[in-house]
Structure 1
């Protein structure tokens, strides 16, 4: 998001925090209702255009939101979405993305309240690794087959895979992602959820790949070094890949810090061939 949409998103996040902190609104209920609003806006192109039309008064758009949603979701969700449509958005699609992100944040807030946010972060990462290494699972869950039956089948498969193996919040997040990917790959969606979970704790996520498991001391030293480098706490998501041959590879967002033997051999090979 850029410009006006970024500001509108920040304001919506503040309102969500205020709702869950001061009014006692159930974040899990908010998440479910916001997800249903996301589905509505994603489906109704004309509606989201009307609700983001800068030529229309904000109050008129808020009143329309109340009439449309009042019988479908609770008052807290209506108030939250009404506040969002009063804001200015750079593109209609940004409003849909923002409502979807608020649904995910609300679920992560529920995990935070339950003291399970760390577990959810770890489970999202572990599931992403399973998907990355299973062509069959990635093909099934990432298929572009349309229709409620296909979506529900993928949701059931995720529920079966994660049943008793993951937190309820993790299951809800992943089921929503596979049922309504909204143009994203499964891997990209899982990465975005992991980053959002880390942001909830004001941390960045570093995906660390090493040839052998790191010791507790090595993890501690690496976390401290990255924290000093980036000026904030870093969440380490650890993966083991014998193919790196030695050293470690660290990815934070789009930035790659590569110190593996395999990478050095590739560099030598490139120089020799050049």
Structure 2
């Protein structure tokens, strides 16, 4: 099992530094772009993680690539990851950081699964009800899965509200098999 302590510590440090610099939203947006760029360039990641490459070469390349393109706070953070040999954790740190930013802004993520796309009015109604239930603003991710047959399944963190036809049929089937018929 992976220790998430590294990601949490570094994400928290970036959060505090970005907030103090007044760059929280910009850093959050730029960090997504940096991770996407690294994900699209495995050779760059190998270069930055490689022990055979001198530290000064790594920092020079990061400065060349990102100076003027990302906030100073994020640039310094990326250089810190190189200094501490933590580049391999950058994507996990970014995910943890994004979650912390959303939390600080009173946002939560929810995944909504339906058999067919929801009409806009039902989607707005569902979002409003979920926001009232949680007391938070929600960022909805919608997924269509015909196997649920009908209804809605909502996942928010470790909480699941499952009102799908598939789940109800499965419960009914299990109940029928448990019932002794004589």
Residue 61 and residue 241 in structure 1: after superposition, are their counterparts in 2 closer, same or farther (change >3 A)? same
- Quote the residue 1:45 is aligned against: 42
**Is 2:2 the partner of 1:2?**
yes
Residues 170, 243 of structure 1: CA spacing in aligned structure 2 closer, same or farther, 3 A cutoff? closer
- Give a deviation string over 1:99-150, Cα, whole Å, max 9, x none: 5415523641551xxxxx2xx32xx32xx22xx114458xxxxxxxxxxxxx
Residues 1:101 and 2:95 are matched in the alignment: yes
Q: Which runs of 5+ in 1 are unaligned?
A: 112-116, 138-160, 175-189, 196-204, 210-239, 246-259
CA change 1:25–1:63 in 2 (3 A) is farther
Contact 2:49 2:85 in 1 (8 A): yes
**Distance (whole Å) between structure 1 residues aligned to residue 9 and residue 27 of structure 2:** 17
Are residue 206 (structure 1) and residue 154 (structure 2) matched?
A: no
Corresponding residue of 1:146: none
Task: Give 1:12 deviation, angstroms.
Answer: 1.6
Bigger helix share: 1
Normalised by the length of structure 2, the TM-score is 0.61
Q: 1:105 to 1:57 in 2, by over 3 A?
A: farther
- 1:53 offset after TM fit, Å? 1.8
Work out which of the two has the higher radius of gyration on C-alpha atoms and give 1 or 2: 2
* Residue 84 of structure 1: how far off its partner (Å): 2.1
- Aligned runs of 1:141-220 on 2, under 5 Å? 194-195=156-157, 205-209=158-162
For 1:13, the equivalent position in structure 2 comes to: 11
Paired residues, number: 156
2:89 counterpart of 1:67: no
Map 1:206-245 → 2, pairs under 5 A: 206-209=159-162, 240-241=163-164
Quote the Cα distance in structure 2 between the aligned partners of 1:15 and 1:58: 22
Using CA pairs under 8 Å that are at least 6 residues apart, name the structure with larger relative contact order, 1 or 2.
2
TM-score by length of 1: 0.44
Match of 2:114 in 1: 133
Uncovered stretches (5+) of structure 2, i.e. residues with no partner: 132-136, 142-153
Match of 2:148 in 1: none
Report the alpha carbon displacement of residue 14 of structure 1 after superposing the two structures with TM: 2.8
Q: CA RMSD in A?
A: 4.1
- Distance in structure 1 (CA, Å) of the matches to 2:52 and 2:42: 17
1:76 is aligned to 73
Instruction: Flag the structure with higher strand content.
Output: 2
